């Protein structure tokens, strides 16, 4: 994956449309550029466990362990941090995923801030990668994680 070109495109516009290995176009955007008319089906992408603090209410150790030791791609639904004013928040809850796949993780690390992603946006793009986006895996799980350790499986 050519990170230099992708980073440049993202930094210039704050948005990046990228065709991944399955042929689906994903859209990455800075949260501050998100608008309500873009819909609510967006997920925050994180490259590091400590980034959870910036977007969610403080987590219990149990909830952090669940995120840290997940062995399959997982989208978590959790109460939003009060400092987050803009982004795809539904009834005080946002979605996030810790991306561990090395190439995608490196891209997110180089962006160096949480971004939000919408999957299969069908946008035209010149940017592509043969690397599969982890959240498009059929084994992707979804679960609610509460700050006090509450856990509810949404999609197993």
Mapped onto helix, strand or coil, the DSSP state of residue 16 is strand
User: 153: which DSSP letter?
Assistant: E
What number is the average pLDDT over the span 1-23? 90
pLDDT in tens, 45-54: 999 998 998 8
The number of folded domains in the chain is: 1
Q: How confident is the model at residue 156 (pLDDT cuts 50, 70, 90)?
A: confident
Q: The domain containing residue 77 runs over which residues?
A: 3-155
Q: How confident is the model at residue 145 (pLDDT cuts 50, 70, 90)?
A: very high
Mapped onto helix, strand or coil, the DSSP state of residue 135 is helix
User: 64: which DSSP letter?
Assistant: H
Q: Specify the pLDDT at position 27.
A: 96
Question: Model's pTM, two decimal places?
Answer: 0.93
User: Is 44 in contact with 55 (CB distance < 8 Å)?
Assistant: yes
User: Is 75 in contact with 96 (CB distance < 8 Å)?
Assistant: yes
Q: Specify the pLDDT at position 62.
A: 86
The overall average pLDDT reported for the chain is 92
pLDDT in tens, 67-114: 999 989 999 999 999 888 888 999 999 999 999 999 999 999 999 988
Q: State the CATH number of the domain containing residue 44.
A: 3.90.870.10
Q: Specify the pLDDT at position 1.
A: 63
């Amino acid at each position: 994956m050519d990170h230099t070109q992708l980073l440049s495109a993202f930094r210039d516009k704050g948005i990046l449309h990228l065709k991944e290995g399955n042929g689906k176009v994903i859209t990455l955007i800075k949260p501050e550029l998100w608008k309500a008319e873009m819909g609510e089906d967006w997920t925050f992408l994180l490259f590091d466990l400590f980034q959870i603090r910036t977007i969610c209410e403080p987590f219990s150790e149990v909830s952090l362990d669940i995120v840290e030791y997940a062995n399959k791609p997982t989208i978590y639904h959790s109460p939003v941090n009060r400092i987050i004013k803009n982004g795809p928040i539904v009834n005080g809850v946002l979605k996030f995923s810790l991306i561990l796949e090395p190439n995608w993780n490196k891209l997110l690390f180089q962006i160096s801030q949480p971004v939000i992603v919408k999957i299969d946006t069908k946008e035209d793009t010149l940017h592509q990668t043969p690397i599969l986006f982890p959240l498009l895996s059929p084994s992707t799980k979804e679960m609610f994680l509460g700050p006090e350790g509450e856990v509810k499986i949404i999609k197993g």
